[in-house]
Structure 1
Amino acid sequence: MAELLRVLLSVSEKAANVARVCRQEAPLFELLVQEKTGADKNKKFVQDFKTLADVVIQEMIRHDVCAQFPELNGFIHGEESNKFENGLGESVTVTVCAKEEDTATLLAKVLDDNQTAAALLTKAIHQDLRVKDEAAESLQLALSLADVGIWIDPIDATSQYIEGKEEEVSAEGFCPSGLPCALVLIGVYLRSTGEPVMGVINQPFSRRDSTGKGWTGQHFWGVSHGGVNTCSFPNPKHSLRKERDSLSVVLSSSERREVKDALAPLCNGRLTYVSGAGYKILCVIQGLVDVYVLSEASTFKWDSCAPHAVLRALGGGVADLGECLSAVSNGNKGFRAELTYHKPQAGCQGVDKWANQGGLVAYLDSAVMDRVVGALVGKM
């Protein structure tokens, strides 16, 4: 499993580099951020280049992982469909080919023969990039590949990625919005139980590089399985928080008023708002906030699988908020309805079958989660 984690770290960094290339190379950046008008307005490839960047990353990860672990073919799932229609009405299935020139030809077909853009993308996709992480490489874990599945979110917080704003870091240490909120998420779960066991989070736009023109990123990982709980960084900040009565709760700005009103007293009236589901959970992981609460079914398995595994490695988790509220209402306090990742939601169609239907609460300290759930019982 050390080899699987090593491969996931490397492909996450390749994915981060593709995301950076799309913003830093002018031919790709123009496709990414400009909406065409007039005769070009109905060309689907232009309108969907945002999605193509996602799909290219997703398919690159799938290709590279399956090249190392062919037994995972068919068990690597992503957010995006890989079928496109170009300006000529031709349907193209986006894949990463074994040969670089074949990938370039396919991408040029999607991009209406934009050879420059196709070549830039292809070069980033086929680069040989390896991440060295001694702790990951020394990991010992008894985990069968025959029981493993993977969820990919190629660019979480896509809207922040497209807008490309550079927000200042808050006093608490996080960015409320902007490029740092855009993450590459790769989560590993058990097919038998749905339990998240390994997560890789890559933040492509962590800080400006030394030139001030480009970006450098950072990655995080965590593993939780069979008595092994380990991750890429220590967790010192939460020990300080446990001694305080006031909590730090992060929400979506569109969260329901009744939820905000119920949670405000726990935070001395000061709620925190941050963009991106994955980034909100990362803020919990890093100890920048105590808990992330979402009452709507607006996140999906690809959003939560990777950061959930990292939280588990630190002793926390991501629970189904609706199920937790029902349990407390029925007198079953302390119930942990942890999210699972192997089964679609019954009665739902399309992407909704993979939604976290009951909302979620991401936490490190179970006592904090109990306080939050208690505050919300009967309020929503």
Structure 2
Amino acid sequence: MADLLKLLLRVAEKAANVARVCRQEAPLFQLLIQEKTGVDKNKKFVQDFKTLADVVIQEMIRHDVGAQFPEIIDHIQGEESNKFENGLGESVIVTVCGTEKETAALLATVLDGDQMAATLLACAIHQDATLKLTGTDDLHIPLSPSDLGIWIDPIDATSQYIQGREEVVEEGCLCSSGLQCALVLIGVYIRATGEPVIGVINQPFNHKDPTGWKGKHFWGVSYGSVKACSVLRPKDRPAECPGLSVVLSSSEKQAVKEALAPLCGPDRLMYASGAGYKILCVILGLADVYVLSEGSTFKWDSCGPHALLLALGGGMLDLKECLHFGHCEGGHHDQGELTYHQSHSESTGADRWANQGGLVAYLDCQMLHRVIGELKGKF
């Protein structure tokens, strides 16, 4: 399993390279600009390009993981379908081929013959990522790859990625929007129970130096007594600082905002883009709790970050169940931990894999207790 974690970290870094190439190289960037400004919005090719960056990353991860762990290949799922119809009306199945040249040729058919853009993407897909890994070699997890499934969100907060705003953020503060909110998310779960056990988060646009954008990666493992994470658990807040911080979506229900505002005080009820990024804010201690009352996130959004929370002693609960059944008695939640193996059979399409009851992500159970106490009966 240490080998699987190291592989996932490498493919996530490859994915980050693809995301950066799509913004740095002029032929690809022009396509993003067209999507951003709405020029030629009726062309299927332009409309799909924002999805193509996602699908290329998703299929690259599927290809690389399947090559080393073939027993998992049929249980790797992601946000995107890999079927496209290009501007010429041709249906194309996007896959990663055996060679860079073959992949470029396939991508050119999706990109209406744009060979330069296809070549740039294929080069990034087939280029090995260099990544310095620490703390992964000594992990011993008694699981077989044949017991596992994987969820991929190739670019979470895609709209922020496409718009490409570069926000300046003080150290120790969360970023409300912009490229920093775009993340590559990979989560591994046990197929029999849905329990998340390995999580990888790559932030392709963590900071910028004179040579361009640089990324950062985070990982966590949680299975039985094995708890390991690349992030140190944030220090508990001193007793003299009773207020807590909550991060929400700006579109959150007004009733939720009003219920939590007195608990947080001024400037500690915060807003950010991207479900994965908001969970990362909790992992890093930039916010105490993330609350979402709507069923607008999906298994691919939450599986990877959830594993990091568990590794740090926190968790992620179904908010509706949490409000209904109770929470955090004796330092442990009673029920409602999100799982990743079962779909909602009564729903169709992506909604089958939605976190339909909303969610609440936390590290400190007492913080969770206070938030749920304020929300109970309010909406």
TM-score between the two structures when normalised by the length of structure 1: 0.95
Could you say if the C-alpha distance between residues 242 and 339 of structure 1 is closer, same or farther in structure 2, counting changes exceeding 3 Å? farther
**Contact conserved, 2:325 with 2:335, CA < 8 A, in 1?**
no
Query: Match for 2:248: what amino acid?
Result: L
What is the distance in 2 between the residues matched to 1:242 and 1:314?
21
What is the distance in 2 between the residues matched to 1:328 and 1:167?
39
1:240 to 237, 241, 251: 237
What is the distance in 1 between the residues matched to 2:84 and 2:121?
16
Could you say if the C-alpha distance between residues 243 and 183 of structure 1 is closer, same or farther in structure 2, counting changes exceeding 3 Å? farther
SS for the counterpart of 1:135 is coil
Aligned match of 1:95:
95
Aligned match of 1:181:
181
**Contact conserved, 1:6 with 1:131, CA < 8 A, in 2?**
no
2:260 to 263, 277, 280: 263
The 5 Å alignment of 1:223-234 reads 223-234=221-232
What is the distance in 2 between the residues matched to 1:255 and 1:170?
25
Could you say if the C-alpha distance between residues 206 and 171 of structure 1 is closer, same or farther in structure 2, counting changes exceeding 3 Å? closer
What is the distance in 2 between the residues matched to 1:143 and 1:41?
47
Superposition deviation, residue 37 in structure 1: 7.8
What is the distance in 2 between the residues matched to 1:316 and 1:361?
11
Query: Match for 2:291: what amino acid?
Result: V
Report Cα offsets for 1:312-343 as digits up to 9, x if no partner: 000000000000111139x9995331000000
What is the distance in 2 between the residues matched to 1:318 and 1:334?
10
Aligned match of 1:284:
282
What is the distance in 1 between the residues matched to 2:364 and 2:240?
12
Query: Match for 1:210: what amino acid?
Result: P
Aligned residues between the structures: 375
**Contact conserved, 2:247 with 2:291, CA < 8 A, in 1?**
yes
1:203 equivalenced with 2:203 (yes/no):
yes
Could you say if the C-alpha distance between residues 300 and 241 of structure 1 is closer, same or farther in structure 2, counting changes exceeding 3 Å? farther
What is the distance in 1 between the residues matched to 2:362 and 2:80?
28
TM-score between the two structures when normalised by the length of structure 2: 0.95
SS for the counterpart of 2:237 is helix
Which stretch has the larger CA shift, 304-313 or 202-211?
A: 202-211
1:355 equivalenced with 2:354 (yes/no):
yes
SS for the counterpart of 1:34 is helix
Residue segments in structure 1 that go unaligned for 5+ positions in a row? none
Could you say if the C-alpha distance between residues 265 and 187 of structure 1 is closer, same or farther in structure 2, counting changes exceeding 3 Å? same
Query: Match for 2:334: what amino acid?
Result: F
**Contact conserved, 1:160 with 1:177, CA < 8 A, in 2?**
yes
Superposition deviation, residue 370 in structure 1: 1.1
**Contact conserved, 1:328 with 1:377, CA < 8 A, in 2?**
no
Query: Match for 2:235: what amino acid?
Result: H
Residue segments in structure 2 that go unaligned for 5+ positions in a row? none
SS for the counterpart of 2:374 is helix
What is the distance in 2 between the residues matched to 1:70 and 1:294?
36
Aligned match of 1:70:
70
What is the distance in 1 between the residues matched to 2:2 and 2:344?
32
Structure 1 stretches of 4+ moved >3 Å: 35-38, 331-334
Aligned match of 2:306:
308
SS for the counterpart of 2:366 is helix
What is the distance in 2 between the residues matched to 1:289 and 1:99?
44
Query: Match for 2:360: what amino acid?
Result: V
What is the distance in 2 between the residues matched to 1:338 and 1:114?
46
Aligned match of 1:341:
340
Query: Match for 1:85: what amino acid?
Result: E
Query: Match for 2:252: what amino acid?
Result: E
What is the distance in 1 between the residues matched to 2:362 and 2:333?
13
Aligned match of 1:322:
320
Report Cα offsets for 1:215-243 as digits up to 9, x if no partner: 000000000002100101212x3323566
SS for the counterpart of 1:168 is coil
**Contact conserved, 1:325 with 1:373, CA < 8 A, in 2?**
yes
The 5 Å alignment of 1:108-127 reads 108-127=108-127
What is the distance in 2 between the residues matched to 1:125 and 1:54?
12
Superposition deviation, residue 21 in structure 1: 0.1
Query: Match for 1:115: what amino acid?
Result: Q
User: How many percent identity over aligned positions?
Assistant: 66
SS for the counterpart of 1:18 is helix
What is the distance in 2 between the residues matched to 1:199 and 1:73?
18
Could you say if the C-alpha distance between residues 310 and 95 of structure 1 is closer, same or farther in structure 2, counting changes exceeding 3 Å? same
What is the distance in 2 between the residues matched to 1:92 and 1:283?
38
SS for the counterpart of 2:62 is helix
What is the distance in 2 between the residues matched to 1:299 and 1:241?
33
